[in-house]
Amino acid sequence: MRTNWLGWFVAGCAIVLAFALLPTLTRSQSPHSNHALGDPWWKHAVIYEIYPRSFQDSDGDGIGDINGITSRLDYLKELGVDAIWITPVYPSPQVDFGYDISNYEAIDPQYGTLADFDHLVSEAKKRNIRIIMDWVPNHTSDQHPWFLESRSSHNNPKRDWYIWRDGTGPGQPPNNWQSWFGHSAWTYDEKTGQWYYHYFYVQQPDLNWRNPEVRKAMYGVLRFWLDRGVAGFRMDAVSRLFEDPNLHDDPILPGLNAFGDPNIEHKYTQDLPEVHDVLREVRELVDGYPDNPVLIGEADEPNIQDLVKMYGSNDDEEQLPMDFQLADVNKLSVPEFRRLLDEIEFNPALGQPYFFFSNHDQSRTWDRYGEGAHNDQIAKLMATILLTTHATPQLYYGEEIGMRTTTPTRIEDVKDPVGRTGWPKDKGRDGERTPMQWNSSHDAGFSTAEKTWLPIPPSADRYNVAVEQRDPDSILNFYKHVIALRRQLTALRSGAYVAVNRDDEDVLAYLREAGQDSPSVLVALNMTAEPRTVSFKLNGFGISANSLTVLLASPKQGKTELPLKEVQLDPFGVLIATVK
């Protein structure tokens, strides 16, 4: 009897204690405080986007290729890259530089052969680097045999693989939907007297995802590449897979866009609920393969709520929807970054955040965030946000050496269809797709050709891999250092994220908390062009020390131990430090 009472008493005390501790535990354990051991690889991977046309040319034709990528794997390994996402290398008329695919299960001869691709996969594997392919499910090229069949007659079995409709009158498209690349999203086809729908360019007809045979064929494509050993897919334009079957007109907004068309809300052509059915099916398919293949979604959603839907309701859709909200802050605003970091970190789906700032559709970070006088320093600051939060980071080739956007100055030189249609208001995306700058030699070490497909930017002499490898303060060495820290420190790898000094509008600061056994990491970023002195009170975060130990600072700090109550940061200064 007595033992029983004692037992109940002890159990009761334990329960009371647990409830008393609960606020502390939940505060310091963000939903993501995960244990590195059981995590899928993509939670801790550094992913590097390669635009293959511009990375490395191995055969001297002025266009990058697969063997070129293979020859640069050691560079990627040294940088600390775990996986590369390669934008489309499939056979294509190259109207949209690979995003108009005419065969999903082969390699365009411009880029090499399937054997070259297999060689890349196996060489990458030797270096522990995974390959992620681009899956373009929304549309094919108008030269794809499926579309050639589809357009051949009303009765062709593939007619329904695409979206064909009658116009509303002679020369009148079925409704007011507009292409993302300008003008009507419908093109008239003389032969059968109907219009086909294309969310993107005229040469990119949309597949009809309500047709089960289309789904089957496109899922076959996923299997084809998974069977060849790829580690997952970046899914192109997935939110555009379905459009309203009743063809309601989209709402017109005030003003004109760069193409001279009325602004429009793409209400009936994106984010239809059926997108999620497809995402669930795709997830189930990839989950059937070993080693956790990843689905990265081009989720350029209008807000974080819609972005979060891409994770699915039960971790059953994309593992990594790209956070366009964060990528598009487009100014060094501490409150804006803090709000977005909080929102995605504490997202209700408990999904893993996925950050990037540059890609092949967006002008480069160096100019977009740079204010003119401190761009190199700002590049380091942006690298720090990218690489020290909880998110899986994605780098875009050349970002790590501070490549800048080099926009064409004459319409005759423009290659991107967007630039040709949008000139001069929208000069297109060539500027962020120029060849990688490897060294100061001819063609910046990218090629041996007389002329490269896009010109080598004038900045290549000073901003290139060879020059920056020798300079300890270069952007490249900064990236390497932060990636290495991310790998070494439990706190940066998997610690919980918590914002500190939340009222400061000039300095963005956060802690990564690793728990009892490892020190926490403090990150502080001065987003102004003036020096700032910051005082941190971290006792509420279980930190008793009064000083911090610098791990990495740019510009360099004079001392390695700094008092928490008085931390000085230079203009756009970056500090990564441990605190106990």
Residues near ligand GLC (CB under 6 A) are: 96, 99, 136, 200, 236-237, 298, 360-361
Q: Which is nearer to ligand GLC, 298 or 343 (CB)?
A: 298
Q: Name the residue among 543, 491, 497, 494 with its Cα closest to residue 518.
A: 491
243 given a catalytic annotation: no
Q: Which is nearer to ligand GLC, 96 or 271 (CB)?
A: 96
Specify whether the CB–CB gap between 388 and 337 falls below 8 A.
Answer: no
557: CB partners within 8 A, 6+ apart:
550, 568, 575
450 given a catalytic annotation: no
Q: Which is nearer to ligand GLC, 146 or 536 (CB)?
A: 146
Residue nearest to ligand GLC (CB): 99
Determine whether 472 is exposed, middle or buried from the number of CB atoms within 10 Å of its CB (0-12, 13-18, 19+). exposed
Q: Which is nearer to ligand GLC, 289 or 423 (CB)?
A: 423
Q: Which is nearer to ligand GLC, 51 or 510 (CB)?
A: 51
534: CB partners within 8 A, 6+ apart:
501, 504, 507, 509, 524, 566, 567, 568, 569
Nearest distance, CB of residue 91 and ligand GLC, angstroms: 15
Nearest distance, CB of residue 511 and ligand GLC, angstroms: 35
**Rounded Cα gap, residues 119 and 111, in angstroms:** 13
User: Which of 206, 250, 298, 367 is labelled catalytic?
Assistant: 298
Nearest distance, CB of residue 136 and ligand GLC, angstroms: 6
Token representation of residue 579:
């605190």
Q: Virtual CA dihedral for 150, 155, 158, 164, nearest 10 degrees?
A: 60
**Rounded Cα gap, residues 6 and 284, in angstroms:** 51
Q: What is the DSSP letter of 250?
A: P
Determine whether 404 is exposed, middle or buried from the number of CB atoms within 10 Å of its CB (0-12, 13-18, 19+). buried
Nearest distance, CB of residue 243 and ligand GLC, angstroms: 15
Nearest distance, CB of residue 429 and ligand GLC, angstroms: 7
**Rounded Cα gap, residues 139 and 92, in angstroms:** 12
Q: Which is nearer to ligand GLC, 57 or 96 (CB)?
A: 96
Biggest alpha carbon–alpha carbon distance for the chain: 95
85, amino acid identity: W
Specify whether the CB–CB gap between 357 and 340 falls below 8 A.
Answer: no
Q: How many residues does the structure list for the chain?
A: 580
Q: Which is nearer to ligand GLC, 207 or 509 (CB)?
A: 207
Nearest distance, CB of residue 528 and ligand GLC, angstroms: 33
Nearest distance, CB of residue 96 and ligand GLC, angstroms: 5
Q: Which is nearer to ligand GLC, 201 or 311 (CB)?
A: 201
Q: Name the residue among 256, 274, 275 with its Cα closest to residue 264.
A: 256
Q: Which is nearer to ligand GLC, 240 or 404 (CB)?
A: 240
Strands 320-321 and 294-297: parallel
Nearest distance, CB of residue 196 and ligand GLC, angstroms: 16
Phi and psi (nearest 5°) for 78?
-65, -35
User: Which of 57, 236, 343, 345 is labelled catalytic?
Assistant: 236
Strands 262-264 and 252-256: antiparallel
Nearest distance, CB of residue 542 and ligand GLC, angstroms: 43
- What is 184-217 written as a DSSP string? BSEEEETTTTEEEE-SS-TT-PBB-TTSHHHHHH
Active site residues: 236, 298
